[in-house]
Amino acid sequence: HDLLFDQTHKFYNYFLSFMLLAVFWIVHHRQFHYIKRIDHLTLLVNILILMFVALVPFSASIIGDYPFDFAAHLVFSANLFVLGLLFSFNWLHATSKHRLVDADLEQKTITSGIRRSLVAPVVCLLAVVVAMFNPVFSGWIYLLIPLVFMHPVFRY
């Protein structure tokens, strides 16, 4: 019984990682709903996105092994921060001068995509600040990402 209870934080990290990866999958899906063409840079950025997605289980396991260590939380946060920045760059590159999207894509849709893609990096920075004072609590800050996405301003 104690053995399983002692693993609760590891299960939470698994759950959190899965939920965040699901959010990133949704962001990717929404971006490519509008992105109609691919260029070399988009392909490269998406390979980097895949690399940082594949790194999430590892960075989450570090927190599972060292839940009270600021550096462990910094690694996880940095992973998600870079992932969020890559999604932001992907969207900005694709929509700049309607490079890879339809010419009639509304500016409102482009702006909404920028807003959505910046949620994760902002939350990651907040989590790092919280981790400086309370590393364990900082893991709960990431729940803001799916919660923010539920708000209509970030949904569409």
Residues 6+ apart with CB under 8 A from 70: 131, 132, 135
Q: How far is CA 62 from CA 70, 77, 92, 139, in A?
A: 11, 11, 32, 12
d(CA 34, CA 140) in angstroms, rounded, equals 32
Q: At residue 43, does pLDDT exceed 80?
A: yes
- In whole angstroms, what is the distance from residue 72 CA to residue 87 CA? 23
- Mean pLDDT, the chain, whole residue set: 92
d(CA 112, CA 144): 18
This prediction has a pTM of: 0.91
Give 69-86 pLDDT, tens digit per residue: 999 999 999 999 999 999
Torsion angle, alpha carbons of 49, 53, 142, 35, to 10: 40
- Across residues 81-97, what is the average pLDDT? 97
Predicted confidence band of residue 149 (pLDDT cuts 50, 70, 90): confident
With contact defined as beta carbons under 8 Å apart, do 117 and 150 qualify? no
Q: Residue 64 pLDDT > 90, yes or no?
A: no
